Amino acid sequence: MVDLHGQYLKIKEDIDYAIEKVLTSTDFIQGEDVKQFTKSLSEFIGGAYTVTCANGTDALQIAMMALGLQRGDEVILPVHTYVATAEVIALLGLTPVFVDVIEDTFTIDVSQLAHKITSRTKAIVPVHLYGQCAEMEPITKIARQHNFYIIEDAAQSLNAIYRFSDGTQRAAGTIGDIGTTSFFPSKNLGCYGDGGAMFTNNQDVADLLRMIANHGQRVKYHHEVVGVNSRLDTLQAAILNVKLRHINDYTEKRQAVAASYDELLRELSEIVVPARAWYSTHVFHQYTIKAPRRDDLKKYLERKGVPTMIYYPVPLHLQKAYQNFAYPKGSFPVTEKLSGTVLSLPIHTEMTNGEVEFIASCIKEFYGKR
Ligand SMILES: *Cc1c(COP(=O)(O)O)cnc(C)c1O
């Protein structure tokens, strides 16, 4: 699905040098590279305050802690997402309020929000799934109207740009009260382990995020709030400092692979290629098709040596761990349908045209077309 080794080889000299520098300095926790990366990332996403942390799941948790969400508060989220989004809500004793997604774009269905909002609604977590933004303009309007927070889960969409109807453009993760992202190795900007970050345009919120991520202290051994230990390792920051210089190339590469897939698969009436929303660029964390006889297609491709993935095979409301929130089967028809039809094809920065063509021809072959 990804070729992290091939990608590493192309920047090996810079990466090895960066790692060696950290090893020599032994500045492993909150070292110079963390400060440098925080600054560079902030500039990259358009100037929002940036706070790094240990992973994208922690980023969501710290965001919810910083906004003062309390036990029993309701948090709205799409049911078609990675478990982390729901996990931190449950972990903090908050109540997840699931909403179905739009079949075309895989993001939260804004038209269903109205009857999910109650007096206990304190936040919404739109997820910019697979690399394309959720509908932030209407979400922002509704959140303002009903006075609740927006935490954008931008783990899959770093470098995606949202377009408002007046033409204003904003980077994914910098539109809501807080945005979060992940540097898990396979994410669009991946490190060589775990890493994460949070964005906000509010300086006080940024201070709180920074404090909570570091044991609730501003000054060492003076704890103002209950915090967590969630810091980005200096080694990972050193790697990210090198890789951030390539992020635009990486994004363009993914978009080029997606365009080739589109071109090659468009004529195939059986499958649906990813929709492109007018209000967002797509950075193609995943290239996800909807395919009839999906499981057979997956097996067929496997036999041809083509790996594929299903994101996500079991909707969150049907997961054992989330049974107590009492959403029966049938609650979210679109998500339930998607869990049986979505298939993510290999897409990464090292892919060749030949590989894309081979995969497309295998899919055509499966449906009896050459
Ligand atoms: C990867 C991911 C996360 C969690 O990031 P980690 O760094 O793995 O903790 C959260 N939300 C979404 C949508 C993700 O894809």
Atom number in ligand 1 closest to CA 58: 9
- Which whole-number Å values give the CA distances from 135 to 95, 111, 279, 293, in the listed order? 23, 11, 7, 30
Is 90 exceeded by the pLDDT of residue 369?
no
What local confidence, expressed as pLDDT, does residue 67 receive? 98
> 129-154, pLDDT tens digit by residue?
999 999 999 999 999 999 999 999 99
Rounded-to-integer distance, Cα 346 and Cα 112, Å: 32
Distance 182 CA to ligand 1 centre (A): 6
Give the number of the atom of ligand 1 that is nearest the alpha carbon of residue 285: 15
pLDDT score of 23: 98
Give residue 195 CA to ligand 1 midpoint distance, Å. 10
3-state secondary structure the chain: CCCHHHHHHHCHHHHHHHHHHHHHHCCCECCHHHHHHHHHHHHHCCCCEEEEECCHHHHHHHHHHHCCCCCCCEEEEECCCCHHHHHHHHHCCCEEEEECECCCCCCECHHHCHHHCCCCEEEECCECHHHECCCHHHHHHHHHHHCCEEEEECCCCCCCEEECCCCCEEECCCCCCEEEEECCCCCCCCCCCCCEEEEECCHHHHHHHHHHHECCEEECCEECCCCCECCCEHHHHHHHHHHHCCHHHHHHHHHHHHHHHHHHHCCCCCCECCCCCCCECECCCCEEEECCCHHHHHHHHHHCCCCCECCCCCCHHHCHHHHHHCCCCCCCHHHHHHHHHEEEECCCCCCCHHHHHHHHHHHHHHCCCC
Please give the distance, rounded to the nearest whole angstrom, from the Cα atom of residue 22 to the centre of ligand 1: 26
Question: Which mutation among 153, 180, 191 tests ligand 1's pocket best, with the greatest number of atoms within 8 A of CB?
Answer: 153
What is residue 42's predicted lDDT score, i.e. its pLDDT?
A: 98
The lowest-confidence range among 241-245, 329-333, 366-370 is 366-370
Residue 155 CA to ligand 1 center (angstroms) comes to 5
- Ligand 1 center from residue 184 Cα (angstroms): 7
Whether the pTM exceeds 0.85: the reply is yes
Nearest CA to ligand 1 atom 5: 56
What residue ranges define each of the domains in the chain, with the CATH number in brackets?
4-244 (3.40.640.10), 247-366 (3.90.1150.10)
- Separation of alpha carbons 282 and 259, rounded Å: 11
Q: Whose CA is nearest to atom 1 of ligand 1?
A: 155
Residue nearest to atom 14 of ligand 1 (CA): 155
Instruction: List residues near ligand 1 (CB under 6 A).
Output: 55-57, 81-82, 84-85, 127, 153, 155-156, 182, 184, 194, 196
Atom of ligand 1 nearest to the CA of 182: 7
Residue with tokens 């590279």: 33
Helices 234-244, 32-44: crossing angle, 10 deg rounding: 40
Look at ligand 1, atom 2, and give the residue with the nearest C-alpha.
155
pLDDT in tens, 6-37: 999 999 999 999 999 999 999 999 999 999 99
The amino acid occupying position 35 is: K
Pocket test for ligand 1, best of 82, 183, 189 (most atoms within 8 A of CB): 82
Q: What per-residue confidence (pLDDT) applies to 1?
A: 87
User: Does residue 370 have a pLDDT over 70?
Assistant: no
Strand-pair partners of 132:
282
Q: What would the two tokens of residue 227 be? A: 């915090």
